[in-house]
Amino acid sequence: MSPHAADLILAANAGSSSLKMSLYQRNHDAVSDTSSGAPPGHRSVTLLLTSSITNLSAPPASFSFSFTHSAPHKGADAKKQHVDEVHDHASACERFLQYMEREAHIDKSRVKYVCHRVVHGGDYFEPVVVDQERYHHIEKLSDLAPLHNGGALAVMKACLDALPKAASVAYFDTSFHRTIPAHIASYAIDQEVAMTRGLKKYGFHGLSYAYILGSVCHHLQKDVSRTNLIVMHLGSGASACAIRAGRSVNTSMGLTPVSGLPGATRSGRIDPSLVFHYTNRAGHMSHKREVEAQVHVTLAEDILNRQAGWKALTGTADFAEVVEGMRKWEETQTDTNKQPSQEKGLQDMSGWKTDEKFKMAFELFVDRIMGEIGTYYVLLGGCVDALVFSGGIGEKSADLREAVVEKVRCLGFEVDQTKNNGVDDQEGSVVEIWKSTEDGKRILVCRTDEQMEMAKECAVVETFWK
C-alpha cells in the first residue's frame, strides 16, 4: 500500500508528431481559476514531471525526452535523450511510465486519473470518463482524425494496462468550438446528408485555445467574457481561431484536421476536386501503415494528411529546417524581398535550388495565415485585444512571427524586433512582443499547455475526489 493517497493526475496529449505527457499533484485546496486572479492551473495542480516525445510523424525519427521538475518552459533542468525503443505513441507512453517509476521514483498507484486529449469528439462536448461504449465512440471517429484519435486510443490502452486502477478521462479538442454559429460551421451541401452524416466544421486544437484564452485573459487582467482574440496555433498541425467575448466564432480546421492551414504533412485547404486529378485511385482504401489498423482512410485522405505539407514541398516535416533553408536562400539574394516566382515554379520545380523550395514553403504558410487573420479581423469588426502566436512554430520561430506581422501591418499591427527575437529569454506562459500606443492592442506569444488545461479541469471536479 502506498503511503500517499491517490492524488496524482497524468495528462497525455497525443499530437500528430508528438506525445506530450505531464504528471501533476492535485492541490488539497484545488479551486477553479475563473476568479482566482492566478495563472491557469496554478491554484489547482502542481507540476511534478513533464516529457515531450517529438518527431513521431517523421520516421526514421530521432526521439528526445525532456524531463523537468519545474516549469516546462525552462529547459535548464531538462534531460534530453534519444530513445531507440520508442517508435509510436504507445511505446512513447510506456517509456514515460517507466521513467516515472524507475528514475523519478513515483509510485504509479498514486495516479488516480489519466486525462487524454482526444482530437475528434464528434457530438461529445463535455469530458467523459472512458468506458467501453465511449472508447468505441472515439474509435469510430478515428477516420475523421486519421493522424490523431488512433494515437490517443493507443495511449489509453497503454495506460489501462500499466495503471489499471486509474480512470481514463477524455477531453475533446472539438468542445471549444461548439459555439461557432451554424452559418459558419455549415458547408453548402445538402443539409439532410450533412445532418445524417455529421458533415460540418468541428474545429480542433480546442484544449490549446481554452488554455490560451485563460492565460491571455490573466495577462491582460481582463474578463474572459469581454475578450476578443485572433489566435494561431502553429505546430505540426496548424490552425487559427477567432474568439469573440471568450467564445470561438470561427476556426480554420473543419470536418477533419486536414482543412485550413497547411501543416507538416497536411495539405490544408485545397480545391476539393484537386485530389481526383492528383490520382485516379483517390477513392480506394489506403492500407499503408499498421497504425491504421483501426483507421480506415482512402488514398485521397492519406495523400492529403501524410504526403503533403512541408514534407511534400521541401522534403522535411520540421519547420525549423524550413526556416533554416529559407534563410540560406535569402543570404544568396541581393534583394531579400524577392519571392520565388510562379513562372519558374511552373516550368520545373525539380530545377529549383533546394533553398528556394524552403522559401516558397515559408511564404506559402505566411500567405495562408495572413488570409485567416484578415478574415477573422473583419469577423470581429476590428475589435481585437490581441493577436496570439502559439504551438511549436508560433512559439519558437521569430522569423515566422515577423513575416506574418509584416503582412498584416495594414490592420495596425507592428513588429518590435528586439521583443520578437527575445521571446526565448522570457519566462511565463504569455510573452508580450508588441503593444499599440494608440488603442492598446497587442501581439502575444503564448506557450500553450494542453496537458495543464485538462489537469486543472480534472482537479476541480468535486465528485472525482470524494
Ligand X SMILES: Nc1ncnc2c1ncn2[C@@H]1O[C@H](COP(=O)(O)OP(=O)(O)O)[C@@H](O)[C@H]1O
Ligand Y SMILES: CC(=O)OP(=O)(O)O
Reply yes or no on whether 190 is catalytic: no
Tell me how far, at minimum, the Cβ of 57 lies from Mg ion, in Å: 11
Residue 323 contacts ligand X per CB under 6 A: yes
Report the residue from 8, 9, 14, 15 that binds Mg ion according to the rule CB under 5 A.
15
Q: Which residues pair with 11 in a beta bridge?
A: 22, 115
Closer residue to ligand Y, CB minimum distance, 127 or 237: 237
Cβ atoms of 9 and 24 closer than 8 Å = yes
Per-residue binding string, ligand Y, 247-286, x by CB under 6 A, is: ----------x-----------------------------
Cβ atoms of 119 and 173 closer than 8 Å = yes
The residue behind cell 493522424 is 147
Per CB under 5 A, the segment of 92-100, 228-236, 289-297, 338-346 that binds Mg ion is 228-236
Q: Which does 119 bind (CB under 5 to 8 A by kind): ligand Y, Mg ion, ligand X, none?
A: ligand Y
| Cα–Cα distance measured from residue 240 to residue 231, given in angstroms and rounded to the nearest whole number | 6
Report the residue from 8, 16, 150, 444 that binds ligand Y according to the rule CB under 6 A.
16
Q: Report which of 187, 107, 96, 174 is spatially closest to residue 141, judged by C-alpha positions.
A: 174
Tell me how far, at minimum, the Cβ of 112 lies from ligand X, in Å: 26
What's the one-letter identity of residue 297?
Answer: V
In the range 91-120, which residues lie near ligand Y by CB under 6 A? 119
Q: Is 315 annotated as a binding residue?
A: no
| Cα–Cα distance measured from residue 447 to residue 390, given in angstroms and rounded to the nearest whole number | 6
Q: Is 441 annotated as a binding residue?
A: no
Q: Which does 320 bind (CB under 5 to 8 A by kind): ligand X, Mg ion, ligand Y, none?
A: ligand X
Tell me how far, at minimum, the Cβ of 392 lies from ligand Y, in Å: 8
Residue 449 contacts ligand X per CB under 6 A: no
Report the residue from 89, 112, 148, 396 that binds ligand X according to the rule CB under 6 A.
396
Q: Which does 376 bind (CB under 5 to 8 A by kind): Mg ion, ligand X, ligand Y, none?
A: none
- Per-position DSSP letters for 399-452, written without gaps between them: HHHHHHHHHTGGGT----HHHHHTGGG--SSEEEEEE-TTT--EEEEE---HHH
Residue 52 contacts ligand Y per CB under 6 A: no
In the range 237-266, which residues lie near ligand X by CB under 6 A? 237, 264
Q: Which position among 173, 318, 385, 449 bears the catalytic label?
A: 173
Closer residue to ligand X, CB minimum distance, 121 or 237: 237
Closer residue to ligand Y, CB minimum distance, 108 or 269: 269
Q: Which does 240 bind (CB under 5 to 8 A by kind): Mg ion, ligand Y, ligand X, none?
A: none
**Helix, strand, coil % in the chain, rounded to nearest 5:** 40, 20, 40
Per-residue binding string, Mg ion, 231-270, x by CB under 5 A, is: ----x-----------------------------------
Q: Which does 205 bind (CB under 5 to 8 A by kind): ligand X, ligand Y, Mg ion, none?
A: ligand Y
Rounded (5°) CA angle 216-218-222:
90
CA distances from 199 to 123, 274, 305 (A): 11, 20, 18
Closer residue to ligand X, CB minimum distance, 396 or 456: 396
Alpha helix positions (H), 20-59: none
Q: Report which of 45, 49, 21 is spatially closest to residue 115, judged by C-alpha positions.
A: 21
In 39-136, the DSSP E strands lie at 45-53, 64-67, 79-82, 111-118, 128-129
Whether the CA torsion 454, 460, 461, 463 is positive or negative: it is positive
Residue 235 contacts ligand Y per CB under 6 A: yes
Alpha helix positions (H), 125-164: 132-140, 149-162
Tell me how far, at minimum, the Cβ of 438 lies from ligand Y, in Å: 34
| Cα–Cα distance measured from residue 157 to residue 139, given in angstroms and rounded to the nearest whole number | 12
Per CB under 6 A, the segment of 4-12, 234-242, 273-281, 328-336 that binds ligand Y is 234-242
First-to-final CA distance of the chain:
19
Q: Do β-strands 238-244 and 386-390 pair in parallel, antiparallel, or remain unpaired? A: unpaired
Report the residue from 319, 329, 358, 413 that binds ligand X according to the rule CB under 6 A.
319
Cβ atoms of 43 and 145 closer than 8 Å = no
Residues of the binding site: 13, 20, 117, 233-237, 450
Give the residues lining the site for ligand X (CB under 6 A).
Answer: 15-18, 235-237, 264, 318-320, 323, 391-393, 396-397
For the annotated catalytic residues, the residue numbers are 173
Residues at the site binding ligand Y, with contacts judged by CB under 6 A: 15-16, 119, 173, 204-205, 235-237, 257
Q: Which residues are annotated as a binding site for Mg(2+)?
A: 13, 450
Residues that bind Mg ion (CB under 5 A): 15, 235
